[in-house]
Amino acid sequence: MNSPWFQSLVHEWYDPLFRFALSLCSDREQALDLTQNAFYKLAARPDSLHDPSRAKSWLFSVVHREFIDQYRHRTRFPSTHLEVVPETPDPSANPRARTLDREAVLRALQALDEHFRAPLSLFYLQSHSYREIATILDIPLGTVMSRLRRGKDRLRALLESGAGATPAETSRADPLDFPQERTGHE
């Protein structure tokens, strides 16, 4: 599809959609595939989007559903890979390793169950409102709020238990002191 409308959608939503996909799967190649597949589905069947003003939600929903389908497939048909596990550096050897950084939070986020990871990623990394998240994930608004609360609590517990944080960090200001609610209709 080479229409100006489609090209503007790709230009506007490719990066945010890719970041969302990456937050779900933490694999760059898989995230690229999920993102490209969403745009491919729209290009192949533009009539599947009944209201062009809802393109953003539609694209994010497609990425989420594709991720779930792939996850279910991998769980049903697991494959075994032999990998060399890299040696983990000693945090006491490097004083800068004691600070909570973006990578530590993202690693902890990846350790969460997908039910919590998707709403957290959409809310905090993609700045979607509760309503938009409910639409994208096809769940009730109350479920979005409870998953955000429980997901944030689990993420904090992971960081405090050492999945990215050190004891010195837990005494500092709360790194997960996020805003309470985003209700705008973008």
pLDDT at 121 over 80: yes
pLDDT tens sequence across 13-55: 999 999 999 999 888 999 999 999 999 988 888 877 778 788 8
**Residue whose C-alpha is closest to residue 144's, from 119, 177, 109:** 119
As its CATH architecture, domain 4-76 has: Orthogonal Bundle (1.10)
CATH hierarchy code of domain 99-170:
1.10.10.10
Q: CATH 1.10.10.10 residue ranges in the chain?
A: 99-170
Query: Residue 183 has what pLDDT?
Result: 52
Q: CATH 1.10.1740 residue ranges in the chain?
A: 4-76
In degrees and rounded to multiples of 5, residue 114 shows phi and psi of -60, -30
pLDDT at 83 over 60: no
Cα radius of gyration (the chain): 18
Query: Residue 103 has what pLDDT?
Result: 81
